[in-house]
């Protein structure tokens, strides 16, 4: 058999454009975050890496608003963290209730099913949150070990209120697991106050760090449930007892687990530092102000928002309804070289575009740029389209 010759495709220079990433993530990182990526890739037991790891843990606790000792990062995407949470907390045959009204909860169903859990589903509409009473009733009916809900669904732009839900879960001996991938730092989130037992978020979303590393935290209740397992969790890579040991969560001697991506940890550290410097409340207010400006601008162009009730909207992701007669991908393709105008996913597929107010894109200047480019792209690709201001679509105000 002959040998494989050097591929010519790799002999050309790589050329990645500088795009404005205003889809539902990844968002743009700051120069400071990107520069942090270029530090020396340290080895697992270097003191300098452990110091940064401790700082990252402090930062994660701050953005989740928790004192949980079991706070760390999964070396993988947010999907990996979703799977880590489910496979640590569910043994074969154990029951989980999943509140499904978007693509992320569907993924949780798929994952929990693969691990052999007894999966119960509470279905809801794509554009309205689950009322607390419905969730309570389903918990009382199914008596699950865990309830899984999505806080902010980036496939629709829907916000699920979480206040009181933890209390209801705990009154029923159930753990509350939350996907906060698209919501964190865009809307208030209080892990401890709201009695949430497990949560993860996306680095490449609102936090403004690169993708590939995912903050996760679990309560002492959830930790006790993992320690009480009869079998080891299926996945060694995500075993939160072993990984938590490396991340220094348990006052034990640290052991080698796997080679973490120090470059991504450095970048995440800087993204968290920027949030700490500005303050969590200020970050959230800034994104909500941007969202209001976006709603106003869309309304002025006569464009509707996928989530009708302003109270149910996630400030970080907005679905813009595709008007009749408009071919969505032509608009996206027109802008694509410089700006991401992303299409829909799951409930919004071929129904809406999705715009993200995340990372470095959470400024009024960027929102105005998006509105300008969106209008231009729509006009250029659909000259016949008429912009008529919507009178009754209001935003937060």
List the interface residues with a copy of itself, window 258-317 (CB under 8 A).
Answer: 258-264, 266, 269-270, 272-273, 276-277, 279-280
Indicate the DSSP class of residue 93: T
In DSSP notation, 169-215 reads: HHHTT-EEEEE-TTTBTTB---TTTTT-SEEE--TTTTT---SS-EE
- The H-or-E segment that residue 74 falls in is strand 70-74
**Is 354 annotated in some ligand binding site?**
yes
Q: How many whole angstroms separate alpha carbon 22 and alpha carbon 391? A: 26
* 336 part of the interface to a copy of itself, by CB under 8 A: yes
- Compare residues 67 and 308 and give the one whose CB is closer to a copy of itself: 67
Of residues 134 through 153, those in contact with a copy of itself by CB under 8 A are: none
Binder of a copy of itself out of 30, 77, 363, 368 (CB under 8 A): 77
How many residues in the chain? 397
Question: What is the biggest distance separating any 2 CA atoms in the chain, rounded to whole angstroms?
Answer: 71
Contact segment (CB under 8 A) with a copy of itself among 17-25, 118-126, 299-307, 374-382 equals 17-25
Contact segment (CB under 8 A) with a copy of itself among 60-68, 132-140, 285-293, 318-326 equals 60-68
* 330 part of the interface to a copy of itself, by CB under 8 A: no
Indicate the DSSP class of residue 397: -
3-state secondary structure of 368: helix
3-state secondary structure of 157: coil
In whole angstroms, how close is the CB of 19 to a copy of itself at the nearest point?
5
Of residues 170 through 199, those in contact with a copy of itself by CB under 8 A are: 190, 192-193
Burial class (CB in 10 A: 0-12, 13-18, 19+), 257: middle
- Compare residues 208 and 395 and give the one whose CB is closer to a copy of itself: 208
Residue 185 CA to chain centroid, in angstroms? 10
- Compare residues 57 and 292 and give the one whose CB is closer to a copy of itself: 57
Site mask for a copy of itself (CB under 8 A), range 229-248, x = bound: ---xxxxxx-----------
* 385 part of the interface to a copy of itself, by CB under 8 A: no
Is residue 243 left, alpha or beta, with left meaning phi > 0 and alpha meaning psi from -120 to 50?
A: alpha
Binder of a copy of itself out of 69, 107, 292, 366 (CB under 8 A): 107
Contact segment (CB under 8 A) with a copy of itself among 26-34, 305-313, 318-326, 367-375 equals 26-34
* 30 part of the interface to a copy of itself, by CB under 8 A: no
The owner of tokens 């699950």 is 144
Distances (CA, A) of 386 to 370, 377, 392: 19, 13, 18
- Structural Rg of the chain based on CA atoms: 22
* 350 part of the interface to a copy of itself, by CB under 8 A: no
CB 24 within 8 A of CB 182: yes
In whole angstroms, how close is the CB of 288 to a copy of itself at the nearest point?
18
Binder of a copy of itself out of 69, 70, 71, 83 (CB under 8 A): 83
């Amino acid at each position: 058999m002959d040998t494989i010759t050097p591929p010519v495709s790799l002999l050309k220079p790589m050329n990645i454009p500088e795009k404005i990433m205003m889809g539902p993530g990844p968002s743009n990182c700051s120069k400071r975050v990107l520069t942090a990526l270029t530090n020396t890739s340290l080895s697992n037991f270097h003191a300098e890496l452990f110091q940064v790891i401790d700082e990252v843990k402090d930062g994660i606790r701050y953005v989740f608003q928790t004192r949980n000792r079991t706070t760390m990062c999964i070396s993988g995407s947010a999907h990996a963290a979703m799977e880590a949470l489910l496979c640590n907390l569910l043994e074969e045959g154990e029951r989980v209730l999943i509140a499904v009204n978007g693509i992320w909860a569907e993924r949780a169903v798929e994952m929990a099913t693969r691990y052999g859990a007894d999966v119960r589903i509470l279905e809801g509409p794509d554009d309205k949150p689950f009322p607390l009473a419905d969730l309570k009733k389903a918990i009382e009916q199914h008596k699950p070990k865990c309830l899984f809900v999505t806080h902010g669904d980036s496939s629709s732009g829907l916000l699920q209120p979480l206040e009181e839900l933890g209390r209801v879960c705990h009154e029923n001996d159930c753990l509350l697991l939350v996907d906060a991938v698209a919501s964190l730092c865009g809307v208030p989130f209080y892990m401890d106050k709201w009695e949430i037992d497990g949560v993860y978020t996306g680095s490449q979303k609102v936090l403004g760090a690169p993708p590939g590393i995912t903050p996760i935290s679990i309560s002492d209740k959830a930790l006790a449930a993992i320690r009480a397992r009869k079998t080891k969790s299926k996945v060694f890579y995500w075993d939160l007892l072993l990984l938590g040991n490396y991340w220094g969560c348990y006052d034990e001697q640290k052991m080698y687990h796997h080679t973490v991506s120090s470059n991504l940890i450095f970048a995440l550290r800087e993204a968290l530092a920027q949030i700490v410097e500005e303050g969590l409340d200020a970050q959230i207010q800034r994104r909500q102000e941007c969202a209001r400006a976006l709603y106003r601008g869309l309304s002025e162009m006569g464009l509707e928002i996928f989530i009708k009730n302003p109270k149910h909207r996630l400030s970080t992701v907005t679905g813009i309804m595709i008007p009749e007669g408009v071919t969505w991908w032509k608009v996206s393709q027109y802008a694509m070289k410089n700006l991401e105008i992303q299409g829909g996913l799951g409930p919004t597929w071929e129904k809406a575009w999705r715009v993200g107010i995340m990372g470095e894109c959470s400024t009024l200047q960027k929102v105005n740029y998006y509105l300008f480019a969106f209008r231009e792209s729509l006009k250029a690709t659909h000259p016949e389209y008429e912009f008529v201001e919507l009178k009754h679509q209001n935003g937060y105000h």
